[in-house]
Amino acid sequence: MTKDEELQYHYSKILSLLGEDPQREGLIKTPERVGKAMRFLTQGMTQSPHEILRSAMFKEDYRQMVIVKDIDFYSLCEHHMLPFFGKVHIGYIPNGYITGLSKLPRVVEVFARRLQVQERLTMQIKECIQEALNPLGVIVVIEAQHMCMQMRGVEKQNSLTTTSDFTGAFREAKTREEFMQLITHGR
Give the CA-trace dihedral at 125, 126, 127, 128, to 10 degrees: 50
CATH class of 3-41: mainly alpha
Confirm whether 146 is a catalytic residue.
Answer: yes
Fold of the domain spanning 50-184:
GTP Cyclohydrolase I, domain 2 (3.30.1130)
Confirm whether 172 is a catalytic residue.
Answer: no
Q: What pLDDT does residue 187 have? A: 65
Q: Which runs of consecutive H residues, i.e. helices, occur in 55-172?
A: 103-112, 118-133, 147-150
By C-alpha distance, which of 58, 68, 140 is closest to 96? 58
Domain range annotation of the chain: 3-41, 50-184
- Catalytic residue (choose from 8, 116, 118, 130): 118
- Catalytic residue (choose from 78, 119, 131, 172): 78
Per-residue confidence in pLDDT tens, the chain, 187 aa: 999 999 999 999 999 999 999 999 999 999 999 999 999 999 999 999 999 999 999 999 999 999 999 999 999 999 999 999 999 999 999 999 999 999 999 999 999 999 999 999 999 999 999 999 999 999 999 999 999 888 888 887 888 999 999 999 999 999 999 999 999 986 6
Confirm whether 148 is a catalytic residue.
Answer: yes
Confirm whether 78 is a catalytic residue.
Answer: yes
Confirm whether 89 is a catalytic residue.
Answer: no
